[in-house]
Structure 1
Amino acid sequence: MALPIEAAGGEQGVGALNIARMDDYWLGGRHHREVDRDFADRVAITAPYVPYLVRAQRKLLRRMVRYLMDQGVRQFLDLGSGLPTAGHVHEIAQDKDPAARVVYVDRDSSIVDDCHQLLAGNDNAALLDTDIREPGTVLDVLRARCLLDLSEPVAVLAIAILQHIPDSDDPAGMITAYLDATCPGSYLALTHYGPDEHLMTGITMFSQMKFGRPPDVTFRDRTSVALFFSGLELVEPGIVPIVDWRPDPTDDPGINPERHPIFAGVGRKP
């Protein structure tokens, strides 16, 4: 979900800034506004490594999608997708196979129009303006509109979204509901922020500097992240820091890649 953020002074709503537009700014996209850029720069003051992590996750997404394509997957369900720009799933997949089908799911009203414009004319990519926490509704729409063929393998993507869903909303049950609707040979690919003292310090500084209220985040350790893959066959190298998941030879892992506070993993439904 392209979560809205409460800025100092309580600005919210359709015109409010949100994570999706901030990510687009850090990724070098064009679908952000001055308020998003200003807020993103404030985040970078208190947590200067966050823009790097956003870019590292986009590189990871590229590797994951290419890996899934190599396994024969041609359908993708991207949960909490944000803006489909700056090298997003449909661009990666359709570069290899123009017939690959991608459905983005995001309920944030402030980006819906942009999303539809970005996907206009692409018959194999669509956006569902639906809450990902309601898998029954999402799946009903997929079936009714014939957007994906659930009798064929589907890759369910949950990139940088599950940490924004608290345990009270049962994110593991949500993921299970999506996977239960898919056939054997389908996949789950996800990233998730783990506990990290530097991130916690950044969040505390953000509040202390009166930049506004940061989004609510639930950090989960590797053991908790592994629960999302229950019943699946983990793809090598398992659940690892994002820079360690099947890196390209030209990728720069940076210093101490094991300290990157984001886990990544892919699992196959047997």
Structure 2
Amino acid sequence: MAFPMQAGPGENGVDLPSTARMHDYWLGGSHHTEGDRAFADHLAMVGPLIPYLVRTQRALLRRIVRYLLGQGVRQFVDIGSGLPTCGQVHEVAEGSDPPARVLYVDNDPEVAADGEDLLAGNDNAAFLALDFREPDRVLSDPAATRLLDPQQPVALLALAALQMIPDSDDPAGVVAGYLRAMCPGSYLALTHSGPDPQLAYACEMFDQMKFGPRHALYLRDPVAVQLFFTGLELVPPGIVPLPLWHPDPERDPTLQNPGQVPVHVGVGRKPGFVD
């Protein structure tokens, strides 16, 4: 979720715009409504950078998943995941051998209902309608215990999820709660929006034009983002703008103008040996 603009999770329902479904629209998917499209077009009018950020982040997701598969990771927990469509984790990982296992977590019940339908019949993926700020509850759910082997490395994906959590909810503590339950050799991959005049202007214009309620967005600079990786080994090149993390020029046209992307990414490994 690169730039959430709906009401709180689960408050909108299918008749009002959903962040996840608007992202599906911008990504070229088919799991959205006319209301989502209209709202997304209004949002792009005041923040033309936003659809670009969504597409840039999805291209990054593909690079991260391919990298982690190359490191031998076959288990993924994607928090604040949105809809499992348009190149989501399980789709990128389908070619792995043995098959990767993916747990999606999003507390919007409408998104979860769609997610469960989309994953029906897939024994290697599941969707949980839970608040990802409760790692113990997420990881003790039957779906999690079925899919995840705690003795094997897991990748925690938090792509644009933590920017929806205020400091008062201790986002670093949320991340640490997941990592404590994961064995050495596990990974954290996250993206986070930083202070940016274009995003601030888009928020201001959105409010002035009275399009509707929107989530608060808690912007953090790279120094603050670094704190999420306390105790982890950062994967080179460290914390960088999205297009500069392991770029693939042949597949990713968003490599151009990385300075226009006010979002940073980092991937870190939990140290220790894995048998």
TM-score range, shorter chain: over 0.9
Partner of 1:216: 216
Map Cα deviations across residues 67-118 of structure 1 (whole Å, 9 max, x no partner). Answer: 0000000000000111000010000012233611001011111122211111
The aligned length equals: 267
Secondary structure of 2:110's counterpart equals coil
Partner of 1:28: 28
C-alpha distance in structure 2 between counterparts of 1:212 and 1:16, whole Å: 10
Partner of 2:201: 201
C-alpha distance in structure 1 between counterparts of 2:205 and 2:249, whole Å: 36
After alignment, is 177-186 or 132-141 more displaced?
132-141
Map Cα deviations across residues 17-37 of structure 1 (whole Å, 9 max, x no partner). Answer: 211001000000110001111
Structure 1: 5+ residue runs without aligned partners? none
Match status 1:258 vs 2:223: no
Partner of 2:68: 68
C-alpha distance in structure 1 between counterparts of 2:44 and 2:112, whole Å: 26
Aligned in 2, Cα 1:157/1:142: closer, same or farther, shift over 3 Å?
Answer: farther
What is the CA distance between 1:254 and its match in structure 2? 5.4
Match status 1:131 vs 2:131: yes
Partner of 2:91: 91
Aligned in 2, Cα 1:125/1:25: closer, same or farther, shift over 3 Å?
Answer: same
5 Å-filtered alignment, 1:113-262, equals 113-141=113-141, 145-250=145-250, 251-253=252-254, 255-262=256-263
C-alpha distance in structure 2 between counterparts of 1:247 and 1:101, whole Å: 25
C-alpha distance in structure 2 between counterparts of 1:144 and 1:266, whole Å: 22
Q: Supply the AA of the counterpart residue of 1:262.
A: V
Match status 1:267 vs 2:271: no
Map Cα deviations across residues 126-158 of structure 1 (whole Å, 9 max, x no partner). Answer: 111111011110111158742200110000000
Partner of 2:106: 106
| Percent identical | 59
What is the CA distance between 1:249 and its match in structure 2? 2.7
TM-score by length of 1: 0.94
C-alpha distance in structure 2 between counterparts of 1:144 and 1:157, whole Å: 15
Structure 2: 5+ residue runs without aligned partners? none
Secondary structure of 1:115's counterpart equals helix
TM-align CA RMSD: 1.9
